[in-house]
């Protein structure tokens, strides 16, 4: 079949949903269906599941702290993460409300650790605190820089969904003079050239970043994050074929996430909007293939050129997505490729401006999913692949390119 409208009516029996394939046996909780509602067993606690033994706790407060303190209480809080990383013995770090750390203020312990924000906490790859004064030359502004800049975003220039718009990279001063909302970085001369969208002098709304806000690349490392904003990229990986890295996130917000070879990842109640990038990208590394669970996440506003997804997995990853709201991207909303397994339950996938709701060339199961308002199709299957469907509404139709659609 090339295209059809597909709607499967759901039953009303209350029960725990059985896993459809042994590939999903790593799921550590019951998935419950009650009428048209799918939920995770409410007794599941992600912090408890992460199972990090806590003996040493540090406190960070970028407003009231001081790196000369002990860091062992709020009264003695550190101002940055630098002394935490230097001490190397942290099992838990608390961040005070309003804490904002830039790239040169970040350092983490080489061990398993919990990172917990109390209020609004932003861990960034920002380098604004390493910029010089601005000078106005021709139609651009320029400043010296002490740290490399890979991107800049203007919080005064937003998309319709509220994401800040990235300045377009250019290759010369002349190109910046000719184009509003542009940037040229001459690292040899340690100078950055800016032409804001409204020609104003760079102010507190203009943010400069290196690429990665937070990175963990190590074997046998477990990290739990709660209520933290990562601005821009979070990067997680193993260190070698030994593997054993595990990452858990609760109520966190991301610019975008890149995961490579982390053995297990669970995101619960998280938000990611990877404007100009895939919001979440999973892949294998050192022959270690991630097992992934996304629970009650909102992923949106991704890409500018028709090729970026909300959530995408590669090279044999196994992914379970539960009750997510995935929307407004230029590529496919969900795109899983490369011989893996995917189970989506209770997802809403919509407003892919040039693509598809669900795209798969892996074994995929869809349960109680709703896909709509996508540019081409709500589901695309590939040759030789099987997608199993129940209780779904795919309003725009299916593009089945030599694959198999089945119920389960």
State pLDDT tens for residues 365-389: 999 999 999 999 999 998 889 999 9
Q: Which of 239, 256, 255, 259 is nearest to 247 (CA)?
A: 259
Question: What pLDDT does residue 242 have?
Answer: 97
Instruction: Find the domain containing 384 and state its range.
Output: 6-44+273-407
pLDDT greater at residue 397 or residue 3: 397
Q: Are residues 204 and 278 in the same domain?
A: no
Residue 94 within any structural domain of the chain: no
148 with 231: CB under 8 angstroms?
no
CA 239 to chain centroid, in Å, comes to 20
Residue 191 within any structural domain of the chain: yes
Q: Is the pLDDT of residue 276 over 90?
A: no
Q: Are residues 184 and 282 in the same domain?
A: no
- If you average pLDDT over residues 228-251, what whole number do you get? 97
pTM score above 0.85: yes
User: Per residue in 166-217, pLDDT tens?
Assistant: 999 999 999 999 999 999 999 999 999 999 999 999 999 999 999 899 999 9
* Domain termination residue (choose one: 209, 234, 258): 209
Q: How confident is the model at residue 277 (pLDDT cuts 50, 70, 90)?
A: confident
Q: How many helices (H) and strands (E) does the chain have?
A: 3, 41
Q: Is the pLDDT of residue 3 over 70?
A: no
In the block, residue with structure tokens 């002490």: 146
Q: How confident is the model at residue 148 (pLDDT cuts 50, 70, 90)?
A: very high
Question: What pLDDT does residue 355 have?
Answer: 85
Q: Which of 227, 237, 228 is nearest to 262 (CA)?
A: 237
Q: Are residues 300 and 393 in the same domain?
A: yes
Q: How confident is the model at residue 396 (pLDDT cuts 50, 70, 90)?
A: confident
Q: In total, how many domains does the chain have?
A: 2
Read out DSSP for 93-157? EEE-TT-EE-GGG----SS-EEEEESSS-EEE-B-GGGB---EEETTEEEEEBSS---EEEEEEE
User: Per residue in 290-331, pLDDT tens?
Assistant: 999 999 999 999 876 667 899 999 999 999 999 999 999 999
Q: How confident is the model at residue 2 (pLDDT cuts 50, 70, 90)?
A: very low
Q: Which of 291, 293, 311, 290 is nearest to 302 (CA)?
A: 311
Residue 236 within any structural domain of the chain: no
Residue 118 within any structural domain of the chain: no
Question: What pLDDT does residue 402 have?
Answer: 79
Question: What pLDDT does residue 401 have?
Answer: 77
Residue 245 within any structural domain of the chain: no
Q: Is the pLDDT of residue 84 over 70?
A: yes
Q: Are residues 278 and 180 in the same domain?
A: no
Q: Are residues 192 and 294 in the same domain?
A: no
Question: What pLDDT does residue 14 have?
Answer: 52
User: Per residue in 108-139, pLDDT tens?
Assistant: 999 999 999 999 999 999 999 999 999 999 99
Residue 83 within any structural domain of the chain: no
* Domain termination residue (choose one: 209, 238, 263): 209
User: Per residue in 28-62, pLDDT tens?
Assistant: 999 999 888 999 999 999 999 999 999 999 999 99
């Amino acid at each position: 079949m090339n295209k059809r409208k597909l709607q499967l009516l759901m039953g009303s029996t209350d029960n725990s949903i059985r896993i459809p394939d042994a590939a999903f046996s790593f799921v550590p909780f019951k998935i419950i269906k009650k009428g048209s509602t799918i939920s995770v067993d409410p007794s599941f606690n992600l912090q408890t599941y992460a199972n990090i033994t806590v003996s040493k706790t540090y406190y960070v407060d970028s407003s009231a702290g001081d790196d000369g303190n002990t860091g062992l209480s709020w009264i003695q809080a550190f101002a940055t993460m630098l002394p935490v990383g230097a001490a190397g013995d942290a099992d838990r770090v608390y961040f005070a409300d309003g804490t904002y750390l830039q790239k040169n203020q970040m350092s983490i312990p080489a061990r398993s650790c919990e990172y917990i924000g109390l209020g609004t906490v932003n861990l960034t790859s920002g380098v604004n605190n390493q910029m010089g004064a601005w000078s106005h030359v021709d139609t651009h502004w320029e400043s010296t820089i002490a740290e490399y800049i890979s991107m800049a975003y203007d919080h005064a220039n937003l998309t319709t969904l509220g994401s800040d718009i990235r300045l377009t990279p250019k290759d010369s001063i002349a190109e910046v003079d000719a184009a509003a909302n542009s940037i040229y970085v001459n690292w040899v001369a340690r100078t950055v050239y800016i032409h804001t969208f409204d020609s104003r002098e760079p102010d507190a709304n203009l943010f400069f970043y290196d690429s990665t806000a937070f990175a963990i690349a190590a074997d046998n490392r477990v990290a739990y994050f709660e209520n933290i904003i990562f601005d821009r990229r979070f990067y997680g990986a193993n260190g070698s074929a030994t593997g054993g890295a595990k990452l858990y996130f609760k109520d966190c917000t991301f610019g975008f996430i890149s995961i490579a070879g982390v053995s297990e990842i669970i995101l619960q109640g998280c938000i990611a909007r990877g404007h100009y990038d895939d919001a979440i990208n999973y892949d294998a590394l050192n022959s270690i293939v991630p097992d992934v669970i996304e629970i009650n996440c909102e992923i949106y506003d991704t890409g500018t050129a028709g090729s970026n997804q909300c959530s995408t997995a590669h090279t044999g990853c196994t992914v379970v997505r539960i009750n997510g709201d995935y929307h407004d991207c230029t590529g496919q909303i969900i795109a899983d490729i490369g011989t893996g397994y995917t189970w989506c339950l209770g997802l809403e996938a919509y407003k892919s401006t040039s693509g598809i709701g669900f795209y798969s060339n892996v074994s995929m199961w869809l349960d109680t999913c709703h896909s709509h308002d996508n540019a081409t199709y709500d589901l695309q299957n590939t040759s030789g692949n099987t997608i199993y469907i129940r209780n779904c509404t795919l309003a725009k139709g299916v593009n089945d390119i030599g694959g198999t659609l089945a119920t389960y």
